């Protein structure tokens, strides 16, 4: 059996997926440099991804369909004859119910799709944050603080917020006391405390009925020249990052036309919306939510990010493409010009990767 075939088989049997290009190159190089196949298996079996997958298989959660079967419907995807089981959010009150069920059933206290390990993807995120040279940063939904730890190592002070005790329990020692447990709306942080706030795959987990309160709180925490980085699963075509996620259902197309969130949500094996997302919407809707007050999108900075990292995103982290940069008016030109200049230089993180 050739090395590539062996690695594919090990990935599928241990991680239930095909190897990603970076992982394939990394382990193929290890084998060529003398590592045994047994060592590769052991390394993958010790990985955070495998441990989380194993725990997830043996961590049972109440099936959401048992709470209210009437909320689930069959919907035909576009150009597909086989219907999919989906969650139908008919009214605004349904999102309150869904949020309450997710929290009450302990959805965030079990391993999810996120990783607790330092990885090239997290190193890239930390490098993007560092390009803005923040004096004090805040991460929303920081999990165990991987990015916070990377920022600490580069001399940047950053705090984090998360609602998962399970994730915080696995925090890095160097930043454990910088993580606040709880909801952003309930945590006492002084206004204007941070010149950079960032959230990776977090805003879509918020109740859409309270999004205005969260955006107001984020703006309150930012300094006048502060920057907000928001990575969300934005559907449909965007003039900067293209189409990351296509429309799958007619409801999604109609929702984008009406400038509203989607009411048909894809579900996982336990009946919860995939990854626990409460907000499903297209890119124009997302941008409108952030810019409803004083925030404006800095497309030139976003293009600089894509110029530096698009090849990496394409290979290893496609969903990081939908990364928005927002600032207040008047535009903090000095801060953004500095970031663009940094982003136009070669990336130390990418230089160290086996495939970019």
Q: In this structure, are strands 84-88 and 264-266 parallel, antiparallel, or unpaired? A: antiparallel
End-to-end CA distance of the chain: 27
Q: Within 13 Å and on the Cβ side, how many CA atoms surround 245?
A: 15
Contact 229, 323 (CB under 8 A): yes
User: What is the fold of 120-351?
Assistant: Rossmann fold (3.40.50)
Crossing angle between the packed helical segments 21-32 and 3-15, to the nearest 10 degrees:
130
pLDDT by residue (tens digit) across 283-301? 999 999 999 988 999 999 9
- The long-range contacts involving 59-63, CB below 8 angstroms and separated by at least 24 positions, are 59/110, 59/111, 61/105, 61/106, 61/107, 61/110, 61/270, 61/272, 62/105, 62/270, 63/270, 63/271
Q: Bridge partners of 61?
A: none
Contact 84, 75 (CB under 8 A): yes
Q: Bridge partners of 194?
A: 222
Question: What's the pTM value of the predicted model, to 2 decimals?
Answer: 0.87
Q: Which residues of the chain have pLDDT under 70?
A: 48, 52, 54-59, 111-114, 355-356
Extents of the domains making up the chain: 3-46, 120-351
């Amino acid at each position: 059996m050739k090395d590539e075939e062996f690695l594919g088989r090990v990935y599928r049997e241990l991680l239930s997926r095909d190897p990603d290009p970076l992982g394939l190159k990394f382990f193929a190089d290890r084998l060529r440099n003398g590592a045994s196949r047994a060592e590769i298996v052991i390394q993958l079996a010790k990985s955070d991804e495998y441990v989380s997958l194993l725990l997830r298989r043996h961590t049972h959660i109440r099936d959401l369909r048992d709470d209210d079967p009437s909320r689930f419907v069959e919907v035909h995807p576009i150009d597909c004859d086989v219907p999919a089981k989906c969650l139908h959010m008919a009214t605004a009150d349904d999102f309150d119910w869904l949020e309450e069920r997710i929290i009450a059933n302990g959805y965030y206290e079990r391993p999810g799709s996120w990783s607790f390990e330092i990885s090239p993807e997290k190193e890239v995120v930390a490098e993007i944050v560092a390009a803005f040279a923040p004096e004090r940063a805040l991460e929303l939904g920081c999990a165990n603080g991987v990015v916070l730890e990377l920022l600490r190592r580069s001399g940047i002070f950053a705090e984090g917020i998360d609602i998962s005790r399970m994730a915080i329990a696995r925090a890095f020692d160097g930043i454990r006391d910088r993580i606040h447990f709880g909801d952003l709306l309930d945590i006492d942080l002084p206004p204007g405390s941070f010149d950079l706030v960032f959230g990776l795959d977090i805003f879509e987990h918020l109740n859409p009925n309270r999004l205005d309160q969260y955006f107001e709180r984020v703006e309150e925490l930012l300094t006048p020249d502060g920057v907000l980085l928001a990575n969300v699963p934005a559907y449909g075509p965007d003039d900067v990052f293209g189409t990351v996620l296509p429309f799958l259902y007619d409801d999604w197309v109609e929702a984008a036309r009406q400038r509203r969130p989607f009411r048909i949500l894809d579900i996982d094996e336990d009946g919860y919306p995939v990854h626990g997302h409460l907000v499903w919407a297209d890119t124009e809707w997302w941008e409108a939510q952030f810019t409803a007050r004083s925030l404006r999108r800095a497309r030139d900075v976003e293009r600089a990010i894509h110029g530096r990292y698009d090849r990496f995103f394409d290979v290893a982290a496609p969903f990081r493409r939908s990364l928005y940069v927002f600032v207040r008016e008047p535009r903090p030109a000095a801060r953004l010009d500095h970031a663009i200049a940094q982003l136009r230089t070669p990336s130390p993180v990418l230089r160290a990767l086996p495939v970019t």
